[in-house]
Structure 1
Amino acid sequence: MIHEASFRRRLQDGRASMIQVYAMCALAARFSDSSHFHKVPRGARGKMYISEAEHLAQQSLIAPSLETIQGLILIGYFYGGEGDTKAKHIYSGLARLHAEALSFPDIPKDAIPMRQEEYRRTWLSVHIASYWTASDMSIDPVLLVYGPDIVSPEVDDIIFHSLDPEQLQEKNISSPCNMWAYMAKTLDLFNRTSAVLRRLSQGQIEFNDYCTEASALENALDEWEKSLPPGLEYTQTNIRSLVKQGLGRTFLAMHIGPHHFRQMLFFPFLDARGNRDTPKLAHRATQCKRSANTVSEIIQHSTEMDGCDLNYFIYGHIAVISSCVHLHALLFSGDRDELSMARKRLVSNFEYLMDIKSYWPVVDYSLARLRKFQNSCQDSMSDPFLLDNWMVRFLTEHSSDISERQMPVLQSSEASKLGPNTKIGHTNLQGKNLPGPAQANNSTQIGTGAHGLSDLLQDQQVTSKALVDHAIDWLLD
């Protein structure tokens, strides 16, 4: 939402908004390699900046401006990374109120094109924050009067990323490479998916009704993919091309969202109860696993390709949901290829999570949820994939701390569907000398401290259940 070259010029000239500066530092200090921070844990470095950003924001509460709105959004993001959902919701709400006061659709016509584009992208950021924070609070979002189709980014992402303000002319505006505009079109699908999952878990709709709504949402996601121009389709060629243009991270972010929505949408079909055991519903479960595999693939690309790192905390939540789907394959599948892929993807996710949790305190919440979910897998008389209220919160709330799950006991006929392999325990270690957590924490770089876990992947004598159990212990240490 902020044009980098313009901001750097304002900063150099002493004209930059200090709300923005301190909020940026609060978010960015965790990634710094400066010796100034060597004795401060990465996840704690922002606290020395955020208090000043908040102080400056309070002085501007009744004086809305573009810079103040951007600063409020950044402060909200900071608190999201801390796991403080109430503070995040409040600051995102303040940004929305300021946007309404400025009447964003009435973008100043005398502003230079780059400035006009900052207005559009900031408005979209407010819109995105309204959806995500509302999901965290299990409430419906309070939306701006004008949707993203009314005020949407118009400037090509490559131009916005790379050019100085003076280089942008009106003729440069129209371009197909506008990934944020395409991302905006999926927001309503995310909101509808979250809402229908909540309704199902609360008994407001029957499962057959859920199937009907899920089909409509699936079709809408399919249409979104078909609407992408060839240069923005999810292909290896496009990834490499956009990496060269400095937009690999944005490209992966654009695609991981809809695949996450799909793994959420189809998650109820992993429920093992007999009345859902039909070829059509089994196909939906397969689609959930396919989307989880794509999420893991995108995350792996982000760790292996320069300039593609998805190091924001929301992707930690998405990786945890993907990992739960892989757990389903490990617990229930008898297909050798599917088991092998699930082990590989799970280890890749865990290596990523091991790194990102050092930056964002809230990722520890996501990992603690994963432990609570895994605990429910130990009870052979319960279905851990049952879509109860706890599971819906697990799927949709990415920043909140959720209490221990209380599992209902299935009837014996339903429990028999689960089979004997659902119990995960240390008894499956088979005497293997597994690497301890201390070995895994020697590096903050993805993969370099995880060789012990990767080695387990190759050791077929260690069961999948033992791998999962030890890896989660290792992540939580």
Structure 2
Amino acid sequence: MVCCTYCESKGLPCSLVTRPRPRVSSSAATKRSSRGEATAAQAAVCTTARVCSQSCSPVEVSPLPPRDVCEDLVDVYFSTLHDTQGALFHRPSFMRAFEENTVPDIILLSISAFVARFSNHSYFDGVDRWDRGHTWGRAARNMLNIQTMEISIVTLQVCHLLSSLSIADGDPATEALCSGIANRVVQLLGLPHRLSQDPLQREIELRVWWSIYMMDVWIATGRGFPRTFHLDLSWPWPMEEAAFEQLGPDAAVDLIELDNDHILRKTSMWGQMIPLAALKAQIQDLNDSARYAGDTMDEGFLESVADLSSKLDQWVVDLPPSLHDTDANLAQIAERGMGHVFVALHFGYHYFAILLYYRFLHDSLTPNMSAQRLVYAQRCKFHATAITRLLWTGTHEHRCNCVWLLISHLLVISSSVHLHTLLLDTDPDLIAQARILLERNFIMLTNLMEVWPWLAHTMARLKSFHDACLRAPNAEDAFQMDDWMNTFLHQHSHVLPSDQRAYRNQLVELDHWEHAVLQTERFIDA
């Protein structure tokens, strides 16, 4: 795909994809991929790495990109990924440090490895988006390994960046290890109890702390690990994003008293993710307990569902009006360049609700379904629709840079709910709507797949789920909550096949499958 639908219709250069990525359509392309040949730009990076490894310690010299490329990658990072999966930096002070050449190399290497796939800089001309940044990522990991493991905020920032990069590389073990290191460094630093007296540094420490907390929740719930941290409501929330951006190095010390200022704390989009993360952990615990009990929905289980459902509703009620999920709010926040953070906030809410209600899709169309269970099944479909609507509107109407990796997982889960409607509903209007929603999800996933190789495996899992639906004597049985379904819903990390060429070949098969899903007679006759 050359560009997204919006950019194509407007005749605009697409920031996500500017050229089609070769999809192994010839033997020459396959040989080139298998040999790992690089263009001059990639070769220059590799040469730097070889010189570094032969003549000096990686701590002393690192294979950083050229200065102009590094500047471009830093800008790409802040405009696409910052404040989505993590809130690690204060942009104005980071840029000052960058101009003064005081940003640690390990930070720049981690950022470069993570976002090179998004850059349109001429340095990367001819280099496949999937193949960029590997050298920088290896160098950053090596530097982290050979450090004396400095107990610092920098180590936390690097661990978070490398953990996120490991998801993209299909390396869940390193993802979890980086999270574990970060958890211990947080404890050694005494965060969030021992914070700097400098207002700006204090806010950076708070945001990094909450980023590590969120990472712990996601990895623990996704991998079945015990959580290291449990929410304490006395912990201070981060400052509202615009106010944080305006903080300077000479901020008055009395700004520390802003902990009591609910306007600046409660209107923080990152702050509002905190209670949501706690609800995700509770929903995971409930689903785990049901699985261990044989997935029986007794009265006690249904009471727990009702309680968590009420908490999700209350979270919406407690949101400041400026953060409600409305098109006007999204437009206003997108104008400030923070639309992707707004989308991330509400994506979490809708995804966690789907995790709570998904099990009620099974048997939702049977005559003896209780009224309350039917409501839960309908809510599941409402939230799946909201995910598609929000991302489509954000990217196509408000040009939000919604490209962080976990979006793909949410789109796949949303698509599985739309499949339920296509397969099993009898209302032609709902079937037509579900087909449109599914098609939009495929378009957005295809765009994301241009930069995240991990997505092909995620899409393959959705294809496997669809195939299971078609093979089952009763398609509704495929939606029964079992171990496979629990893993499908909760686990966002998957291992890439060792043969990258075979992995890329999956893309061609998936392209054909996407069209088949929307055209299959079973859906049309549903």
Give the alignment's TM-score, normalised by structure 1.
Answer: 0.81
| Cα distance between partner residues in 1 of 2:429 and 2:510 | 28
Give the residue type in structure 2 aligned to 1:400: H
5 Å-filtered alignment, 1:8-157, equals: 8-111=95-198, 113-143=199-229, 147=231, 149-157=233-241
| Cα distance between partner residues in 1 of 2:294 and 2:510 | 45
Q: Deviations over 1:342-374 (max 9, x none)?
A: 111111111000011121222222111101101
CA contact (8 A) 1:136 1:398 kept: yes
| Cα distance between partner residues in 2 of 1:63 and 1:73 | 15
Give the residue type in structure 1 aligned to 2:139: E
CA drift of 1:91 comes to 0.3
For residues 162 and 375 of structure 1, do their structure 2 counterparts lie closer, same or farther at Cα, with a shift above 3 Å needed? farther
SS for the counterpart of 1:378 is helix
Choose the corresponding residue for 1:356, options 432, 448, 458: 448
Percent sequence identity is 25
CA contact (8 A) 1:180 1:254 kept: yes
1:159 equivalent to 2:246? Answer no
Give the stretch that moved more between structures: 357-366 or 14-23. 357-366
Give the stretch that moved more between structures: 249-258 or 158-167. 158-167
Choose the corresponding residue for 2:486, options 373, 378, 392: 392
CA drift of 1:128 comes to 0.6
CA contact (8 A) 1:252 1:298 kept: yes
Choose the corresponding residue for 1:195, options 265, 285, 306: 285
CA drift of 1:463 comes to 4.1
| Cα distance between partner residues in 2 of 1:259 and 1:130 | 20
Partner of 1:316: 408
CA drift of 1:15 comes to 1.1
Q: Deviations over 1:108-152 (max 9, x none)?
A: 4432x12110100000011011111112312232226xx363434
| Cα distance between partner residues in 1 of 2:433 and 2:367 | 28
Report the count of equivalent residues: 421
Give the residue type in structure 2 aligned to 1:190: K
| Cα distance between partner residues in 2 of 1:70 and 1:200 | 36
SS for the counterpart of 1:185 is helix
SS for the counterpart of 1:133 is helix
| Cα distance between partner residues in 2 of 1:82 and 1:168 | 43
| Cα distance between partner residues in 2 of 1:374 and 1:27 | 32
CA contact (8 A) 2:159 2:182 kept: yes
CA drift of 1:162 comes to 5.2
| Cα distance between partner residues in 2 of 1:23 and 1:325 | 36
| Cα distance between partner residues in 2 of 1:402 and 1:288 | 30
For residues 355 and 114 of structure 1, do their structure 2 counterparts lie closer, same or farther at Cα, with a shift above 3 Å needed? same
| Cα distance between partner residues in 2 of 1:463 and 1:162 | 56
| Cα distance between partner residues in 2 of 1:402 and 1:204 | 31
5 Å-filtered alignment, 1:309-458, equals: 309-382=401-474, 383-401=477-495
For residues 20 and 219 of structure 1, do their structure 2 counterparts lie closer, same or farther at Cα, with a shift above 3 Å needed? same
Give the residue type in structure 1 aligned to 2:456: D
CA contact (8 A) 2:191 2:209 kept: yes
For residues 365 and 438 of structure 1, do their structure 2 counterparts lie closer, same or farther at Cα, with a shift above 3 Å needed? closer
Higher RCO structure, 1 or 2 (CA under 8 Å, sep 6+): 2
CA contact (8 A) 2:172 2:493 kept: yes
Gaps spanning 5+ residues in structure 2: where?
1-87, 498-506
Query: Aligned-residue CA RMSD in angstroms?
Result: 3.0
Partner of 1:183: 273
For residues 101 and 327 of structure 1, do their structure 2 counterparts lie closer, same or farther at Cα, with a shift above 3 Å needed? same
CA contact (8 A) 1:124 1:152 kept: no
